[in-house]
Amino acid sequence: MTPASDAGQLAQIAVCTAQTAKSVAQFADPRVAMLSFSTKGSAKHEVVDKMVAITACQAMDAK
């Protein structure tokens, strides 16, 4: 756990996690969830904004 990670660090953690799941657990198409304390915009906070930004970047990379 890295509690004060920036968006780039969290994105890298997500990528590494997916790569590990693929190589170690033999998942063909691993998926990584980014969790926050907000539910679909119910809270405004810099941490929530960071999770939204990371998820958007990961979605763009997946295309």
pLDDT digits (tens, 9 = 90+) for 2-52: 677 787 888 888 889 999 999 999 999 998 887 766 666 677 888 778 877
Q: How far apart are CA 10 and CA 32, in angstroms?
A: 11
The per-residue pLDDT for 50 is: 80
Q: How far apart are CA 11 and CA 28, in angstroms?
A: 20
The per-residue pLDDT for 32 is: 84
Provide the domain limits for residue 52: 7-62
Q: Which residue has the tokens 């930004």?
A: 53
pTM higher than 0.85: no
Is 1 part of any domain?
A: no
Q: How far apart are CA 48 and CA 63, in angstroms?
A: 23
User: How many structural domains are present in the chain?
Assistant: 1
